[in-house]
């Protein structure tokens, strides 16, 4: 018998802020708990609120932060299940100047029994209509984050990861947009999750044609034991609304993520132009070869040399040595200290690749600690790229990683780290957790990873960290919190990159997107594109090279030198300006974008035709967001145009 007239209406017909399971709202719940009596019903009632004029960090998890912001307020709404004495805190922070709201949830078990959390999402938004399109960023290795837009329909539509990483397959993001929403106009509701592990982003259209949007940790294979007195903190969701189309949403995420999620010394600094030896040498290098590449790079104006995979243990291919973080003296005879110094003397900073979360079965580490990997006793330990994943739910494993990475970082003059992660989780279980906690492994792994990253990035504040996961398999806001740039994709083909970078830019700023000019024929797709095209495409983000420049002709070297000079002139605008997407590679043969510097004086426009066509003619490209009355001069050419002219007639692109 209801005490509050609840039978007079169905909760299902009205909007819920944080729906729980078991009542008259039969749509997907945001929270589901299991009690000792086997029941899974919670009845959360309002129990007060509090407002703070600041924002607090989330315990153990990355999140957006405040920095002398007077305009960020946090609202905490308290909910309570009276029968079981479970407290739920809904935490909302409003970033007034950035135009975004963050949302996270804390669950506190005040009852006299242990409970299981079966589902605890970070955000739930109930819309009164379903006339939206669903936008997702999906793909695979080497073709990450393609933009897919589809009609919402009755039932559940979702993207998720069950792979133990946010993944190449789907990004922890979705947007709901009106049918007529374009790049520049129309309503957009963006949902992004500050998390790097298994996530769920879903929309349920119910029988009354209302849409329920949810985002959070994936409930699939998740079960968390919350003992009496314990708390559970969900990751943070970042909710954005824009009436200025997809560009409006992207700019909000770009500004917030580059200024209030990324942190550290490099947050506000232009990023160095780097050269990475991976596609130049793969595992086949020695100290002499490395120095030859670095020497040529320094002559051309490159600022940072990155030594990729293969410098440690006995690693001459990918079958061995992950976990053995000591230098391979056969390849680098003088050691890293000497090599890094010599590279510094050439005028370059020195950077190093690691893959610290992994162990090769063929390694010293695995021999010593065969139970340190994620596994289930008696079951196959499936390898991916010949490697297993270390069990970061264990403190001693995290400590080992912190110590072995720190030892190397202290042993040489290292200014940059590329932190890679090259496989997904299988046979998930931890030798250190009791049976009732096995399904906590994947989330505990993330908590362990975040702890490692917090410690290492704090201990080495001057190092620039770049995250990577077989290219862009963990390009997510969780990683960006610790590492302000990400290797966008293992596909370095300029034409393929157009889609990848265009899609990535929906949420992530150019400065976070690392883009390299590589050799032709391209190693992933075999395509030959002009060096000029490769340069223009890579300049859409954080610029670098990844090829053996010692093998380039003098003519090509001077083109590279010019590219580097140009990028140095315009990188402040590219890395810190406001980006506008003009022509989409998903919709046309032509691809264009522009970035306006924050002071509005400089505009960088980029235009690429994907496939050459015969018999074409000069064509205008309409720019946007300029000052109509201002005059704009084309650098290097001298012609002057009015802002109104460029916006209404367009910039003429020579055929």
The residue ranges that bind ligand DGJ (CB under 6 A) are: 278, 308-309, 353, 420, 422, 468, 470-471, 487, 490
Reduced to 3 states (helix: H, G, I; strand: E, B; else coil), residue 150 is strand
Instruction: In angstroms, give the least distance from the CB of 564 to ligand DGJ.
Output: 21
Instruction: In angstroms, give the least distance from the CB of 494 to ligand DGJ.
Output: 16
Assign 3-class secondary structure to 371-391: HHECCCCCCCCCCECCEEEEC
Residue 535 in contact with residue 517, Cβ under 8 Å?
A: yes
Cα–Cα dist 559/419, whole Å: 31
Q: Which residues contact 635 (CB under 8 A, 6 or more apart)?
A: none
Strands 590-596 and 578-583: antiparallel
CB-based burial, 32-62: b 16+ in 10 Å, e otherwise: bbbbeeeebebbbeeeeeeeeeebeebeebb
Q: Which residues contact 399 (CB under 8 A, 6 or more apart)?
A: none
Run of H or E including 358: strand 358-359
Euclidean distance between the first and the last CA atom of the chain, given in angstroms as a whole number: 76
Instruction: In angstroms, give the least distance from the CB of 506 to ligand DGJ.
Output: 21
Name the residue nearer to ligand DGJ (CB basis): 408 or 579.
408
Name the residue nearer to ligand DGJ (CB basis): 353 or 416.
353
User: Which parts of 314-412 fold into alpha helices (H)?
Assistant: 335-345, 364-368, 395-411
Q: Which residues contact 124 (CB under 8 A, 6 or more apart)?
A: 16, 17, 18, 19, 30, 212, 213, 214
* Pair of tokens at residue 179: 């049918």
Name the residue nearer to ligand DGJ (CB basis): 308 or 324.
308
Q: At what angle do helices 335-345 and 395-411 cross, to 10 degrees?
A: 50
- Residue tagged active-site, from 81, 126, 309, 420: 420
Strands (E), 263-319: 274-276, 304-307
The reply to whether 420 belongs to the active site is yes
Instruction: In angstroms, give the least distance from the CB of 168 to ligand DGJ.
Output: 11
Instruction: In angstroms, give the least distance from the CB of 328 to ligand DGJ.
Output: 14
Residue 47 in contact with residue 68, Cβ under 8 Å?
A: no
Name the residue nearer to ligand DGJ (CB basis): 192 or 492.
492
Q: In what order do the strands lie in the sheet with 603-609?
A: 578-583, 590-596, 603-609
Reduced to 3 states (helix: H, G, I; strand: E, B; else coil), residue 609 is strand
Q: What phi and psi, each to the nearest 5 degrees, are found at residue 448?
A: -65, -45
Cα–Cα dist 66/56, whole Å: 8
Name the residue nearer to ligand DGJ (CB basis): 78 or 283.
283
Nearest to 606, CA basis, from 520, 536, 527, 547? 536
Cα–Cα dist 630/402, whole Å: 53
Instruction: In angstroms, give the least distance from the CB of 647 to ligand DGJ.
Output: 39
- Using Cβ positions, the residue closest to ligand DGJ within the complex turns out to be 309
Name the residue nearer to ligand DGJ (CB basis): 204 or 355.
355
Name the residue nearer to ligand DGJ (CB basis): 342 or 420.
420
Instruction: In angstroms, give the least distance from the CB of 279 to ligand DGJ.
Output: 8
Name the residue nearer to ligand DGJ (CB basis): 353 or 482.
353
- Residue tagged active-site, from 308, 490, 548, 578: 490
Instruction: In angstroms, give the least distance from the CB of 223 to ligand DGJ.
Output: 32
The reply to whether 308 belongs to the active site is no
Known catalytic residues are 420, 490
């Amino acid at each position: 018998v209801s005490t509050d007239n609840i039978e007079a209406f169905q909760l299902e017909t009205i909007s819920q802020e944080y729906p729980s399971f078991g009542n008259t709202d039969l749509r997907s719940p945001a929270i589901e708990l299991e009690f000792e009596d086997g029941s899974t019903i919670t009845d959360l009632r309002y129990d007060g609120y509090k407002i703070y004029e600041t924002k607090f960090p989330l315990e153990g998890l990355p999140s957006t932060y405040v920095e002398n912001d007077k305009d960020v307020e946090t609202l905490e709404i308290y909910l309570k299940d009276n029968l079981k004495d479970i407290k739920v805190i809904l935490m909302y922070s409003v970033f007034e100047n950035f135009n975004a709201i963050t949302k996270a949830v804390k669950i506190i078990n005040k009852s006299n029994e242990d409970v299981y959390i079966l589902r605890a999402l970070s955000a739930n938004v109930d819309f009164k209509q379903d006339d939206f399109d669903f936008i997702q960023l999906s793909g695979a290795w080497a073709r990450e984050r393609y933009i897919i837009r589809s009609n919402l329909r009755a039932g559940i539509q979702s993207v998720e990861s069950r792979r133990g990483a946010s993944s190449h397959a789907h990004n922890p993001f979705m947007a709901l947009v009106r049918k007529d929403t374009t790049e520049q106009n129309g309503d957009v509701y963006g949902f992004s999750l500050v998390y790097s592990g298994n996530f769920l982003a879903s929309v349920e259209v119910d029988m009354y044609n209302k849409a329920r949007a949810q985002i959070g940790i994936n409930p699939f294979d998740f079960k968390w034991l919350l003992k009496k007195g314990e708390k559970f903190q969900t990751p943070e969701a970042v909710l954005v609304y824009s009436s200025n189309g997809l560009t409006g949403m992207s700019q909000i995420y770009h500004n917030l993520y580059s200024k209030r999620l990324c942190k550290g010394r490099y947050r506000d600094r232009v990023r160095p132009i780097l050269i990475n030896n991976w596609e130049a040498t793969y595992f086949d290098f020695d100290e002499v070869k490395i120095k030859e590449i670095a020497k040529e790079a320094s002559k051309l104006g490159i600022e940072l040399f990155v030594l990729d995979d293969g410098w440690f243990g006995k690693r001459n291919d990918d079958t061995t040595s992950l976990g053995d973080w000591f230098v391979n003296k056969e390849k680098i005879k003088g050691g890293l200290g000497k090599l890094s110094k010599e590279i510094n003397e050439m005028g370059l900073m020195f950077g190093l690749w690691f893959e610290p979360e992994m162990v090769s079965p063929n390694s010293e580490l695995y021999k010593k600690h065969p139970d340190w990997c994620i596994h289930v006793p008696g079951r196959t330990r499936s390898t991916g790229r010949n490697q297993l994943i270390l069990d970061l739910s264990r403190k001693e494993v995290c400590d080992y990683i912190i110590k072995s990475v720190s030892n190397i970082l202290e042993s040489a003059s290292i200014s940059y780290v590329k932190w890679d992660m090259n496989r997904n989780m299988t046979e998930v279980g931890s030798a250190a957790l009791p049976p009732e906690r096995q399904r906590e492994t994947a989330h505990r792994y993330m908590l362990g990873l975040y702890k490692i990253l917090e410690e290492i990035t704090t201990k080495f504040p001057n190092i620039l960290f770049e995250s990577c996961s077989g290219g862009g398999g963990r390009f997510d806001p969780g990683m960006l919190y610790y590492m302000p740039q990400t290797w966008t994709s293992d596909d370095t083909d300029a034409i393929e990159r157009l889609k990848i970078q265009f899609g990535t830019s929906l949420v992530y700023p150019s400065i976070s997107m690392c883009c390299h000019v590589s050799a032709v024929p391209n190693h992933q797709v075999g395509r030959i594109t002009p060096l000029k095209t490769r340069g223009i495409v890579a300049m859409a983000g954080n610029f670098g090279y990844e090829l053996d420049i010692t093998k380039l002709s003098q003519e090509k070297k001077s083109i590279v030198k010019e590219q580097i000079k140009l990028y140095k002139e315009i990188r402040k605008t590219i890395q810190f300006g406001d980006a506008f997407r003009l022509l989409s590679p998903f919709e046309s043969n032509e691809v264009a974008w522009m970035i306006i510097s924050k002071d509005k004086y400089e505009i960088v426009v980029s235009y690429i035709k994907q496939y050459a066509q015969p018999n074409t003619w000069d064509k205008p490209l309409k720019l946007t967001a300029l000052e109509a009355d201002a005059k704009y001069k084309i650098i290097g050419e001298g012609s002057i145009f009015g802002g109104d002219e460029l916006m209404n007639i367009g910039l003429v692109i020579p055929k």
